[in-house]
Structure 1
Amino acid sequence: MKYKKIGDILILDENPGNLDELARKHNVKTIMRINHIQGTKREPSYEVLYGSETETVNRENKCLFKLDLSKVMWSKGNTNERLRIAKMVKKDETVLDMFAGIGYFSIPIAVHSDAKKIISIEINPNSYHYLCENIKLNKCDNVTPVLGDCLVETPNYKADRIVMGYVKTTHHYLKVAVNSLNEGGIIHYHETVPEKLIETRPISRIRDAAGERNVELLKINKIKKYAPGVEHVVIDALID
């Protein structure tokens, strides 16, 4: 049986069997099934199978994340990526976190780096609420939450590093991201891409968005299988 434990809630992918026994074994208060994540606000379609409370606090990479799994998503597959990015941030950088969610990237960056400022943009009011909660919970004074659409809000800021931790339609936001990136800045662009196009399509999209600016591919980081023949990847690119 496939499952993931988020705080004191168990998320199942398959038929659960004995729920009481499962709850005792994993020491959880609630058991849920997340059917899928939908829309640009990344809202879960879910079933509560056992218990009733859907809010929890998850600990990861020395960070605390408060969230309600009936309202917002959590991706365990990005655990290593969240810490990888945080450790790349240099002292006194201004970081722009597009599609910030509950602070998946912003909180680890604040906890594990000496970033000067982190601007976190999120469109979903529920996710924004927990982003603000997590800023307080982790005492991240250098994180500024912004409620709004990345297409509208991103042009209001300039940054040395931009995180684009969203997939499916992320390429539609590349132009505004590149325009807000300082010269010599780094962009971390997420994309779901067919395996045969990993080496070409994502970086080509970044170069198209950058126009006459020089783009240097630093790394292609594979996160996980998204679907048969499709990978979730992150492109690290330096743009002059």
Structure 2
Amino acid sequence: MKGKLIGDILVLKQPVDNPQELLNIPGVNRAVRLGRIKGLKREPEVEILLGEGTETIHRENHCLYKLDVARIMWSKGNTTERKRMGQIVRPGETVVDLFAGIGYFTIPMAVHGQPEKIYAVEINPVAHGYLKENVHLNQVQDVVEPILGNCREVAPRNIADRVLMGYIGNTEEYLDVAMEVIKNKGIIHYHESVPDKLKYIRPAERIKEAANGFEVEILNQRIVKKYSPGVYHMVVDAQVYKK
């Protein structure tokens, strides 16, 4: 049976004949089926198959993430990248996460690294609420400052040693913001969904174009996961020199 275990909740896409049998799967206490995505908020139709409620605490890489599986996206395919972010941050750095969500990358950076400060920006009030809870759950409130709003308007400028752009969508439209947020020298982690033939070409080109004359050194390009048929979720680590 295809599904993903988030906390103690098994999230399925297909109907189940006998939900009680799901309790035989290790770690499963509850189960839900997510249906069509609808409405302006793009929230899925939710059928509770087993147990009560859709809020849980997911544990990964010694980090805790509280979320509502019916309202918040959780990608198992991003596990390696979340772990990598916890290893890549350097002591004393200032980090700005432009699309923080519930703290997908912010939390492992704060828990496993030694950054001076992480400004975690999130536009969605629901995700921002869980971000604040997760900061306290992981006891990193001295490091992480959650900020509610559009990163174009509220992200601090000229401050970051490292900028996270861990969002798939119209991410390229915010590369100019990343350039404003970063110090004279810093690293941008830019995510994009890319057709196979362009996966090692288009993201890097977009960063260089957005740099608008600044020097850019591509440090790393890697596949995070397969996004859809013929399309890959890519991340590019780019060093930017403003002067």
Question: What's the TM-score bracket when you normalise by the shorter of the two chains?
Answer: over 0.9
- Give the SS at the match of 2:172: helix
- Give the SS at the match of 2:207: helix
Q: Does 1:84 align with 2:79?
A: no
More displaced 10-residue stretch of structure 1: 220-229 or 36-45 = 36-45
Q: Give 5+ residue unaligned stretches, structure 2.
A: none
Q: Which residue of 1 aligns with 2:7?
A: 7
Whichever residue aligns with residue 66 of structure 1, its letter is K
- Give the SS at the match of 1:101: coil
CA distance in 2, matches of 1:36, 1:200: 34
Q: Which residue of 2 aligns with 1:237?
A: 238
Residue-by-residue CA offset, 1:110-159 (whole Å, 9 max, x unaligned)? 00001000000011111111111111111002000000011211254620
- Give the SS at the match of 1:119: strand
CA distance in 2, matches of 1:162, 1:40: 29
Whichever residue aligns with residue 88 of structure 1, its letter is I
Whichever residue aligns with residue 55 of structure 1, its letter is E
State whether residues 44 and 73 of structure 1, in contact with CA within 8 Å, keep that contact through their aligned partners in structure 2: no
CA shift for structure 1 position 90: 0.5
CA distance in 2, matches of 1:223, 1:142: 27
Structure 1 residue ranges, 4+ long, deviating more than 4 angstroms after superposition: 36-45
CA distance in 1, matches of 2:14, 2:45: 15
- Aligned pairs, number: 240
Q: Which residue of 1 aligns with 2:118?
A: 118
CA separation of 1:165 and 1:44: change in aligned 2, threshold 3 A = farther
State whether residues 157 and 180 of structure 2, in contact with CA within 8 Å, keep that contact through their aligned partners in structure 1: no
State whether residues 29 and 53 of structure 1, in contact with CA within 8 Å, keep that contact through their aligned partners in structure 2: no
State whether residues 154 and 177 of structure 1, in contact with CA within 8 Å, keep that contact through their aligned partners in structure 2: no
CA separation of 1:236 and 1:38: change in aligned 2, threshold 3 A = farther
Residue-by-residue CA offset, 1:153-183 (whole Å, 9 max, x unaligned)? 1254620001111012101111111121112
Q: TM-score, normalised by structure 2?
A: 0.92
CA separation of 1:157 and 1:101: change in aligned 2, threshold 3 A = farther
Q: Which residue of 1 aligns with 2:58?
A: 58
CA shift for structure 1 position 206: 0.5
CA shift for structure 1 position 73: 1.4
Q: Which residue of 2 aligns with 1:193?
A: 194
Q: Give 5+ residue unaligned stretches, structure 1.
A: none
CA distance in 2, matches of 1:148, 1:81: 25
Equivalent runs, 1:140-219 vs 2, <5 Å: 140=140, 141-156=142-157, 158-219=159-220
- Give the SS at the match of 2:210: helix
CA separation of 1:155 and 1:142: change in aligned 2, threshold 3 A = closer
Whichever residue aligns with residue 218 of structure 1, its letter is L
- Give the SS at the match of 1:209: helix
Q: TM-score, normalised by structure 1?
A: 0.94
Whichever residue aligns with residue 132 of structure 1, its letter is K
State whether residues 158 and 180 of structure 2, in contact with CA within 8 Å, keep that contact through their aligned partners in structure 1: no
Q: Which residue of 1 aligns with 2:72?
A: 72
State whether residues 30 and 52 of structure 1, in contact with CA within 8 Å, keep that contact through their aligned partners in structure 2: yes
